[in-house]
Amino acid sequence: MKDILRLLAVFSLVSAAASLVRCKSPNSSQPPETVKADPSFSADIQPIFTANCALAGCHDASASQQLNLSAGNAYVNLVNVDAGEVPARKRVLPGNSAASYLVIKIEGNQTVGGRMPLGRSPLSAVQIQNIKNWIDRGARNN
């Protein structure tokens, strides 16, 4: 019985330590993600693309379907542009995130191809909501 109690105590300590390691310190260089009602393309949306999509072999300058999501290229390649996989849809249809192929792909609701970002962890719920909010507010290039 004592061995079981010791094992449980060790497991509890290891679990607590692992939880602390996963937590960010208050001095962390990255602020916590927050949903923004009116996100800015340059300040809020482009950084999502830069960190998760505009990577070598994905949506960088060598991108297939001409979908270069790097800074300075993403906006013109997304807004009111026909989706390469489903040309009947717009990649981003300003004012309508539900009909925007970008949202369909990042939420994993596509019927063609895979969920984006392909082969990586999905975007967070906050990132997806900020993209949707940006589109629903008119997908401005601000």
Domain span at 92: 35-136
pLDDT value at position 89? 97
pLDDT value at position 15? 44
pTM: 0.77
In a domain, 21, yes or no: no
pLDDT top residue among 124 and 23: 124
In a domain, 40, yes or no: yes
Measured CA to CA, the distance from residue 68 to residue 13 in angstroms comes to 47
Q: What single-letter amino acid sits at 25? A: S
In a domain, 81, yes or no: yes
Measured CA to CA, the distance from residue 16 to residue 26 in angstroms comes to 18
Tens of pLDDT, residues 43-97? 999 999 999 999 988 999 887 667 999 999 999 999 999 999 999 999 999 999 9
Q: Check whether 22 has a pLDDT greater than 90.
A: no
- CA-to-CA dists, residue 48 to 1, 11, 112, 125, angstroms: 52, 37, 23, 12
Measured CA to CA, the distance from residue 88 to residue 100 in angstroms comes to 11
Average per-residue pLDDT for the chain: 84
In a domain, 56, yes or no: yes
In a domain, 122, yes or no: yes
Measured CA to CA, the distance from residue 18 to residue 8 in angstroms comes to 15
In a domain, 12, yes or no: no
Tens of pLDDT, residues 27-38? 445 567 999 999
Q: In the chain, how many domains are there?
A: 1
